[in-house]
Structure 1
Amino acid sequence: MFDSKARSQSRPLAAQRGAALLVGLLILMTTFALVLAGSIASSAIQRMRHDEVTTRALAEAKRGLIAWSVMRNPTDQPSVSARPGDMPCPDMTNLPGSPLFGTAAATCSPGDLGYFPWRTVGTGPLTDSAGAPLWYAVDGAFKWGLAFGAHDSKPINSDTVAVLKVKAEDGVTDLSSSAIAVIFAPGGALAGQSRAAGNAVCGATGGTSRPRQRCADNYLEASTGINNAKNTGPFISGAPSATFNDRLVWLTVADVMPGVERRVLTSVKRMLTPGSLPNPAQFNDPDCRDNDTTTTCQSAPSVCRGILPELPAMSATWIGRNHWYRLVYYAVGLNAAPNCTAAQTVTGVGPKQAVLIAMGAARAGQVRGAPYALRNYLDDTANQSGWSGSGPGADVTVPPSATSNDQMVTIP
């Protein structure tokens, strides 16, 4: 009887102890989960902060490069090799920490890899979240280093075509097939990479010995068979992995040329005298379309709507030498030029003596060259009758729309 009573009294105590144990276990598991979640969140925040550092460095390098390129030869001095739109070579000589590190090489081959030339561009030193300096490659058509006379056969303007390619993660899709320049954030050193001082065999240079800190293989990796350490590309914006941690941004004509086109229009407007304007050149004049320095794109006395002629004031400057006159629609009226009486009316602005429209880079579907249809040069339909239209509508233009990449100025 005593045993039976004791057993009946011990059952609630055992149940209470079991419940307490269960509650304790639950508290322990909850605490562990919270600690684990906190650790995961902390790691995620840390990764985000690292990503932000790299993102900011790449963005600052891109902004600095665009600004530097647009403002080349800021006073439009004649016989100067600096051309708005061109890009510096990489730093291919100096090592991190050296006095001249970040200085662009005087010359380079198309697609050569090297350090981002921050000293030349003026951004200050830029590193990614791992403290690695940025790397850089430039397209051959846009690299600097040409002597002044070479501009004639290798001009830089909105029709200049770059060929550097950047591939997507799949290694097949083109993120860009016409990059002017590519900027790389290498990330931390991975297995097999050594960024220590001293020389070693470098696969990126065909197995020759060179400083480890100038060997692209020690900074850039391959993904899906495409190697970012290979000069000329193609390059890849691959998925992060244990064997690939490069991040990159790139520049295209659309990033750089709008600023240069604004400079062209501003400079040309200063060269023109209201009330005494030259006639336009015929848009398909062979002398306006070749790269022959012995011929000049001249005004045509009977033409009131065409392209900008090669003005005497521009012929020895970067504007003339890089054939920007080909890419400026020019219409004149109000007797400001011989035989041009009709006003050039800009919708919402009023009658003008002249209208100049810088033609942005060709859009999808626009094919430039003979027979030089204006629809392949100007984006807004209302502006596409000027070269061939003979009715009053041909003397009416509209300001470039929000979806256009054209730019306009008027005189006066």
Structure 2
Amino acid sequence: MKRRQAGLVLPALILVLLLGALAMAFARQQSRIASQVRQQQTTVARLAEARRLLLEYAQSYHLTHPGQSTGYLLCPDTDNDGAAELSCGSAGDFAIGRLPYRTLGTVPLRDGFGECLWYAVAGNFKYNPKSAPLNWDTAGQFIVRNPDGSARHPTQRPTDYAVAVVFAPGPPLGAQHRVFLAGQPCNGPSDASLAIAQYLEGAYAAGPGSPMTITVGRLDSDTDNDQVAWLAASDVFDARLRTRSDTADLIGAVLTDTASALAPLPDPEGATTLIGNVIEGAPPVTAYNDRASPWSDQFRYLKCTTGTACMTLDDRAGHILGCAGLLLFAGTARGTQNRPAGGDPAYFEDNVSALQAPETDVFWAAHDYATTAPAQDLARCLPAP
């Protein structure tokens, strides 16, 4: 071999080795990126599955629990057995723990890093102890925010706040220490209150708080990598639920139950307003059973003090009825109407003038809930005792 040719071999060999090293580094980088993409895809899919199961649970509660209303959510799993606790905290307090996958009818749902999902439920939507009211006007308890602090809700209406939040913990950060225990379905101590700080970055000790802020983390963050999915109050009572036939059956039963309990026309509850010979207010609390109680803020109750049929109802079906008592039901909010308090006379849009002059004006309200018109006022005409 000539000296000139021999002198070129070493640089060429170095170039080949350098290109090979670069190719290997690029391949490793691509592999890491592909792995991160798979982990994120798995996390997103598991969060979506958990959200779907929770929504189905809430929207079918009245079907799986006869004699109850709809919208309730189960308690978290706080002892790492996969089952929802039968009760969680005091009435109105939110609760947090692991996602109760067994009660939801599935296997342990894990994020892309192999960690079980966690779950928080608003105090006013949990199934035990129940809070009343619970219906399409009930506000959520959690405000979900982006890492930069901006809100994730389409509006600032309280019904767009979250009532259930599912967390994917991701890999441990900082001082977090996670221990695998043989025989446990999920990593960490069985007691959720002892494990939570090792999995979630927020200070989410169960208890009161309305509204409470929950921040969505970033996978590349060194301080908060929790990924989040949630249900808003408006998701639970969405258009699909409002237009289902079983919802019409439920509302019909609620109206019938409450009207039946108002015989023989007790006085309205609490402070009543006298308008001519009519007193107006809320039905007495004794008029509500378990199915009707969640809808208590949707009612107004009027009674003729004369004991006669002093009010007139047009039931929108061609019937003009004389009523000694009248039970009004508000229906859903219209447009962008915000109704956080419930039960206000202004919510009865079809009967504002009649409520101001119940003996001289005609009430307009349908007897039955219509899935095609969920916002219309409903009524039950009550006869004289």
TM-score class, shorter:
0.5 to 0.7
Match of 1:108 in 2: 89
Aligned with 1:174 (options 147, 151, 155): 151
Match of 1:237 in 2: 216
1:88, distance to aligned residue in structure 2 (A)? 1.4
Query: How many equivalent residue pairs?
Result: 309
1:188, distance to aligned residue in structure 2 (A)? 2.5
Secondary structure of the residue aligned to 1:45 is helix
1:37, distance to aligned residue in structure 2 (A)? 2.6
Q: 1:155-194 alignment to 2 at 5 Å?
A: 155-170=133-148, 172-175=149-152, 178-194=161-177
CA 1:197–1:239: 2 relative to 1, 3 Å? closer
Q: TM-score, normalised by structure 2?
A: 0.63
CA 1:145–1:221: 2 relative to 1, 3 Å? same
Distance 1:408 1:23 in 2: 83
Look up the equivalent residue of 2:144 and give its one-letter code.
V
Match of 2:72 in 1: 86
Report percent identity of matched pairs: 24
Aligned with 2:231 (options 244, 251, 265): 251
Distance 2:63 2:297 in 1: 16
Look up the equivalent residue of 1:106 and give its one-letter code.
S
Q: Deviations over 1:355-377 (max 9, x none)?
A: x9941588366676686445xx8
Q: Deviations over 1:199-234 (max 9, x none)?
A: xxxxxxxxxx99588421111125xxxx35676553
Does the 8 Å CA contact 2:193/2:205 hold for their aligned counterparts?
A: no
Match of 1:59 in 2: 48
Structure 1 residues not aligned, in runs of 5+:
1-9, 199-208, 274-284, 296-314, 340-355, 378-383
Q: Deviations over 1:218-276 (max 9, x none)?
A: 11125xxxx35676553221233234321111211121112553343243468999xxx
Does the 8 Å CA contact 2:146/2:216 hold for their aligned counterparts?
A: yes
Look up the equivalent residue of 2:282 and give its one-letter code.
D
Which has more radius of gyration? 1
Q: Deviations over 1:82-131 (max 9, x none)?
A: 44111112112x23xxxx43332423242232111222222332111222
Secondary structure of the residue aligned to 1:242 is coil
Look up the equivalent residue of 2:44 and give its one-letter code.
T
Does the 8 Å CA contact 2:98/2:117 hold for their aligned counterparts?
A: yes
Distance 2:334 2:233 in 1: 7
Match of 2:118 in 1: 135
CA 1:51–1:76: 2 relative to 1, 3 Å? closer
Does the 8 Å CA contact 1:91/1:115 hold for their aligned counterparts?
A: yes
CA 1:76–1:360: 2 relative to 1, 3 Å? farther
Match of 1:352 in 2: none
Structure 2 residues not aligned, in runs of 5+:
182-188, 257-271, 274-278, 301-312, 323-328, 355-363, 379-385
Distance 1:106 1:45 in 2: 42
